[in-house]
Amino acid sequence: MMTTPITQRRMEARYAVPLDAVAALAAALPEVATPIELVKGRSAMFVTSLYLDRPDLSLARAATLDPTTNEKIRTEESYFHDDSLVPSVWVEWEARRETWSDKRRFALPKQRFAEFCTGTLGEDAVRLAQPAGGEVAGVEAFRRVMACGRGLLLPRFAVTCVRTTYTIHSPRIRLTLHERIRFHLAPPTPYLGHGALSAGRLGEAFHVLPHAVLDVKSAHELPSRLRELLQPMSRATVSEFVVGSRHLLSR
pLDDT at 29 over 70: yes
* Residue 32, C-beta contacts closer than 8 angstroms, at least 6 positions apart: 168, 223, 225, 226, 229
Give the DSSP letter of residue 222.
P
User: Nearest to residue 161, comparing CAs of 185, 147, 182?
Assistant: 182
Q: What is the pLDDT of residue 98?
A: 78
pLDDT in tens, 129-149: 999 999 999 999 999 999 999
203 to each of 5, 37, 185, 198, 206, how far by Cα in Å? Answer: 29, 28, 8, 9, 9
pLDDT in tens, 69-103: 999 999 999 999 888 999 999 999 999 887 788 99
| Separation CA 242–CA 247 (nearest Å) | 9
pLDDT in tens, 143-200: 999 999 998 999 999 999 999 999 998 888 999 999 999 999 999 999 988 889 999 9
Do 160 and 198 touch, CB atoms closer than 8 A? yes
Q: What is the pLDDT of residue 2?
A: 45
pLDDT at 38 over 90: no
Higher pLDDT, 27 or 38: 27
How confident is residue 244, by pLDDT bands cut at 50, 70 and 90? very high
Do 250 and 60 touch, CB atoms closer than 8 A? no
pLDDT at 41 over 70: yes
Do 85 and 195 touch, CB atoms closer than 8 A? yes
* Residue 230, C-beta contacts closer than 8 angstroms, at least 6 positions apart: 13, 15, 214, 216, 222
Residue 240: count other Cβ atoms within 10 Å of its Cβ: 22
Domains of the chain: 9-250 (3.20.100.30)
How confident is residue 6, by pLDDT bands cut at 50, 70 and 90? very low
Do 31 and 225 touch, CB atoms closer than 8 A? yes
User: Nearest to residue 160, comparing CAs of 246, 74, 59, 226?
Assistant: 74
CA angle 73, 215, 24 (to 5 degrees): 145
Q: What is the pLDDT of residue 7?
A: 46
How confident is residue 218, by pLDDT bands cut at 50, 70 and 90? confident
Q: Pseudo-torsion of CA 109, 42, 174, 215, nearest 10°? A: -90
Instruction: Give buried/exposed letters for 123-144 (b at 16+ CB in 10 A, else e).
Output: eeebeebbeeebbebbbebbeb
What would the mean pLDDT of 117-127 be, rounded to a whole number?
Answer: 97
Which is it for the CA torsion 89, 242, 13, 176, positive or negative?
A: positive
Residue 177, helix vs strand vs coil: strand
How confident is residue 228, by pLDDT bands cut at 50, 70 and 90? very high
